[in-house]
Amino acid sequence: MNSCHYSVIVPLRVRNETLRISVIGAIVGAIGCAIGRSLVVYSAIQKPALILMLPSAGIGMLVGAISGAIGRPLISAVTGALLSAFVFELFLLPCASLIGTLGEISGNANADSDFIRSTLKYLIGMAVAGGVGGGIGGAMGRHFGDLQIESDDANLTSEPNDEFKSHDRPS
């Protein structure tokens, strides 16, 4: 099956390597992951609070774009789940530290571990949102094609190559 791709020559250190970026996968993954992470925040609060949903949706757009751009459904889903959960934990660990410090002041020595345990269901929700968004983005990216960036020994420039090339897609 032939597909038309826009080739761009960029300077890469590795010889004859090709990096495939799925623009459609990145867009679909970003939208899917942003919606999923917003729904997790909504389920935690039980009312639409845009002030808390928008930062999570922004992170979801980045996570979904990165994972969806891979263009391979399973790898995109795993990447999205891991990135989404990792970013959520990066936010929670300082919060747990603060809650632990405040808990020690108030006499509750287990406040930090109680906080982490109570947020595990949201961690799983964020991982699922990232995985679903990335997986759908990866599937759409694989279905609709990708942008191919090539490295060549003879022509290592950062100038775009304006000619369209037809490449066989791997099956």
- Taking only Cα atoms into account, the Rg of the chain, rounded to an integer number of angstroms, comes to 21
Alpha helix locations (H) across 107-119?
111-118
Helix (H, G, I), strand (E, B) or coil at 123: helix
21: phi then psi, degrees, rounded to nearest 5: -120, 125
The reported pLDDT for the residue numbered 59 is 93
Residues in the chain: 171
Sheet holding 147-150, edge to edge: 18-21, 147-150, 2-9, 160-168
- End-to-end, the C-alpha distance of the chain in Å comes to 9
Q: How many CB atoms lie within 10 A of CB 120?
A: 10
Listed in sequence order, the residues at least 6 apart from 35 whose beta carbon sits closer than 8 Å to its beta carbon are 57, 60, 133
The reported pLDDT for the residue numbered 142 is 86
The reported pLDDT for the residue numbered 1 is 47
Q: For each successive 10 residues of the chain (171 residues), what is the average pLDDT?
A: 43 55 90 94 83 90 93 92 92 83 81 82 93 93 69 47 48 50
The reported pLDDT for the residue numbered 5 is 46
CA distance 77 to 155: 35
Question: Are 118 and 48 contacting, i.e. CB atoms less than 8 angstroms apart?
Answer: no
The reported pLDDT for the residue numbered 71 is 86
Helix axes 50-68, 23-45, angle to 10 degrees: 150
- CA-CA-CA-CA dihedral for 112, 118, 120, 122, to nearest 10: -120
The reported pLDDT for the residue numbered 148 is 56
The reported pLDDT for the residue numbered 18 is 65
Helix (H, G, I), strand (E, B) or coil at 3: strand
